[in-house]
Amino acid sequence: MITKVHHVGVVVRAIDEALPFWRDTLGLKLHKLELIEEQGVKAALLSVGDSEVELLEPVVSDNGVARYLERKGEGLHHICFQSDDVERDLADMKAKGTEMIDQVTRVGIAGRICFLHPNAMDGALIELCQPLDDYAVQHPAGAPEAV
């Protein structure tokens, strides 16, 4: 079950140039800034109530974020919904025939995650996530075997 908007992902050309607007003009609190080498992005997480804005800057030229920036320019990239059981929700969606980018969950910035395919929902890119501490309670032995 989806419980809330976990974050909204925004693709930017340069986090350094974007931060003054999001942090200083909008007044959102920056709580994490990191380079995620294996995903080829720099990410800045800013708190807004119980949710976050996730600024994403590509640091390589051959990943989804870089291609999005080249094709569409800066802007809203995805919405991430928090699930109380991401494995069950992924299984339910696949059973309903929903087109997925990720056929199995993986670890991302927001916890245990999977992306739906934009074809599934009118061109909007949607991510599901479950924070890792919550996930570990349901899956103490780690992720279930991929089927």
Contacts with a copy of itself by CB under 8 A lie at 1-5, 8, 10, 12-13, 18, 21-22, 24-28, 48-51, 53, 72-79, 81-82, 93, 96, 98, 118, 120-126
Tell me the closest approach of the beta carbon of residue 42 to a copy of itself, in angstroms.
Answer: 14
- Which phi and psi (to 5°) does residue 90 adopt? -65, -45
Tell me the closest approach of the beta carbon of residue 4 to a copy of itself, in angstroms.
Answer: 3
Nearer of residues 37 and 124 to a copy of itself, judged by Cβ: 124
Residue 43's contacts (CB-CB under 8 Å, 6 or more residues apart) are 15, 32, 33, 34, 36, 54, 55, 56, 57, 109
Residue 141's contacts (CB-CB under 8 Å, 6 or more residues apart) are none
Contact 45, 119 (CB under 8 A): no
Tell me the closest approach of the beta carbon of residue 108 to a copy of itself, in angstroms.
Answer: 18
Tell me the closest approach of the beta carbon of residue 95 to a copy of itself, in angstroms.
Answer: 10
Distance CA 49, CA 72 (A): 29
Task: Kindly list the distances between the CA atom of residue 90 and the CA atoms of 39, 41, 81, 93, 134, in Å, as whole numbers in the listed order.
Answer: 22, 25, 12, 5, 16
Tell me the closest approach of the beta carbon of residue 118 to a copy of itself, in angstroms.
Answer: 7
Nearer of residues 96 and 145 to a copy of itself, judged by Cβ: 96
